[in-house]
Amino acid sequence: MPNFCPNCGKKLPIPNPNFCPNCGLDLRKEKSYVLSTEESTKEKEVQRAIHELGEKLEECVEKILAAKGYKTKRRVRRVGLSGAHHEIDVLAQKGKVIKVVECKNWRAPVGKKVVEDLYAKLKDLDLKCDGIVASFAGFTEDARNFAEYYGIELWEPDYLKEELFAVSVGRAKEVEFGETIKVENALPLKISFMKAAEIKLQNKDKIAVSGKLSYHPYYVVSYSYYARFKDPTKTVHKFKDEGKVFIDALDGEVLNPPPVKDIVGFARKLKSIISKQKREESKRNKKFIEEIELGLSMRSNYNVKAGENYVVRIFEPSISRRSVAKSATNYIIEKNTRKIEYTPKNQEDELFPETKTITYIPKVKDINIKSVVLVYVPKWEVNYEAFGRTYVREMLAFSGTILEDNIRYCPKHIGLFKKETIAVCEVCGQALCSVHVFQCPICGKWLCEDDGIFCEDCKRIYCKEHPLLKCEICGQPLCDDCKLTCPICGKTYGHKHARTCDNCGKTVCENCATTTGLIRRKTLCKECQKSQR
């Protein structure tokens, strides 16, 4: 039972009244929002877990990786190729897969520079591993673009919450291959695992694919607001608003926070900074909001069966409807709080009248919560294991909207000149484009420039296991198709060292030929030079 009226805040004289005797609020609809002791305890546990995630990010990341079977170490120091010392926040290894995690426990979204620095650190350490940046405050759009392009994995706030809830809080139900689970109030599952995991790489048969279908709960609160207010001059101001509030049912975060209000003076610059941060934070959330709005009317109950290569996971709401209604009300109040300017009547006739302001804060009684709807949003997380590297694709399973995909673009290109990957190197696991990955002509294995041997003549790349000849003139590798044998000295050489005698027509190496003349140049082999003496 409520001890205090949620509208006027005054103590209620009797248990479970239908109306507040002070302000007249109908409390019958409020009773559905009353928290039981068990619900209250669960919410406190959740808030503790969220606080822990924010305060001890490295510990939480280590806990998540350990639950996935990784052996982990924190604050590891390594020396790079340059001689510089680097600190790794979390180093994790499972078999041949190594993950280097950079944890940024910031209040503001992480920018591109952090992702760039991690990319440079991995290059200097010369580690064949996965780079991950974890941030509980999210990432800027530039950081996401850079990470997707250069194959850096980003652990977003919703991912961290989901994994922490599954590992620590126990708010997830999971089924594996062959098992079925029922979901209620969920958006339709229109994207299958095969569709979500589809890749066009030439050697996709060499890549192990696994996935996870997660159902994340959100509340959609529909509301309307209407109020009339008289300023000190008795002028009537009318206010009207209606819309929806989207709230994460795991931690109560509002996905569409109200815009920052106009302020003046020294705080204007601070406002622009905050506004930018809010815009960057909301870009990913905006995709979830669009997904929910697109499929809200089509939500239904259905059974989902886990496949051979993926599990299905459903998260239970951790936030009660009462807390949701309170969050939505606070959102509406913050959104509709206004500063009203007016001119006192005693100054209306003055040449330079003084303008005053008064802040109008909406009253709870003027807000109408029309409905609170719980909806589950399905999302695919696909993992591609390729020769010690892991790539991740996140896709919303109703619309097919891609949230993250770091296997799509080649990391060797800079700026706007993106090239899509065609294969992964079958030694280091890098996904590369047609300019930077090659197929061995002997065995057909795909190789990058660092893990193969180039024939210095035809520029084809071969596996290091296939011994190539060496050009006896420059010492560079030479394949069988490109080798030439000098008929005079018997050396093996490539075409770039070949010379054709203008007298006898023989092809010899450059050491057995001489070119003379400035205008009418003439090449003679050693044998023809002797015969002309």
- Across the range 447-463, mean pLDDT stands at 89
Residue pLDDT, tens place only, 475-501: 899 998 899 999 999 999 999 899 999
The helix or strand, by DSSP H or E, that contains position 64, with its residue range, turns out to be helix 57-67
The pTM of this model reads 0.77
Cα end-to-end span (Å), the chain: 119
Under DSSP, is residue 389 helix (H, G, I), strand (E, B) or coil? strand
pLDDT value at residue 376: 97
- 291, 187 Cβ separation under 8 angstroms: yes
Q: Which amino acid is at 481?
A: D
Of 6-10, 148-152, 191-195, 247-251, the poorest mean pLDDT is in 6-10
Q: Which fold has domain 470-531?
A: Herpes Virus-1 (3.30.40)
Under DSSP, is residue 507 helix (H, G, I), strand (E, B) or coil? strand
Phi-psi domain of 416 (left: phi exceeds 0; alpha: psi -120 through 50; beta: other): alpha
DSSP 477: E
Share of the chain above pLDDT 70, in %: 83
Which of these CATH numbers, 3.40.1350.10, 3.40.50.150, 3.40.50.1220, 3.40.50.300, describes 35-170? 3.40.1350.10
- 512, 525 Cβ separation under 8 angstroms: yes
261: pLDDT strictly greater than 60: no
220: pLDDT strictly greater than 50: yes
- Across the range 156-166, mean pLDDT stands at 85
- Give the span between the Cα atoms of 384 and 388, in whole angstroms: 10
- Give the span between the Cα atoms of 73 and 71, in whole angstroms: 7
Domain spans in the chain, listed from the N-terminal domain onward: 35-170, 172-400, 470-531
260: pLDDT strictly greater than 60: no
pLDDT value at residue 231: 87
- Give the span between the Cα atoms of 351 and 343, in whole angstroms: 12
pLDDT value at residue 191: 96
Task: Kindly indicate the confidence band of residue 273, based on its pLDDT and cuts at 50, 70 and 90.
Answer: very low
Residue pLDDT, tens place only, 12-29: 666 556 556 665 555 544
Residue pLDDT, tens place only, 287-304: 999 999 999 999 999 999
Average pLDDT, the chain: 84
Phi, psi (5° rounding) for residue 435?
Answer: -80, -20
pLDDT value at residue 396: 96
- 216, 171 Cβ separation under 8 angstroms: no
CA angle 261, 265, 266 (to 5 degrees): 100
281: pLDDT strictly greater than 60: no
Residue pLDDT, tens place only, 233-243: 888 999 999 99
Task: Kindly indicate the confidence band of residue 369, based on its pLDDT and cuts at 50, 70 and 90.
Answer: very high
Higher pLDDT among residues 107 and 329, named by residue: 329
Task: Name the burial class of residue 308, with classes exposed (0-12), middle (13-18) and buried (19+) by CB atoms within 10 angstroms of its CB.
Answer: exposed
- Across the range 385-409, mean pLDDT stands at 92
Return the percent helix, strand and coil in the chain, to nearest 5. 30, 35, 35
177: pLDDT strictly greater than 70: yes
Task: Kindly indicate the confidence band of residue 272, based on its pLDDT and cuts at 50, 70 and 90.
Answer: very low
pLDDT value at residue 161: 85
Residue found by looking up tokens 């996905």 in the block: 255
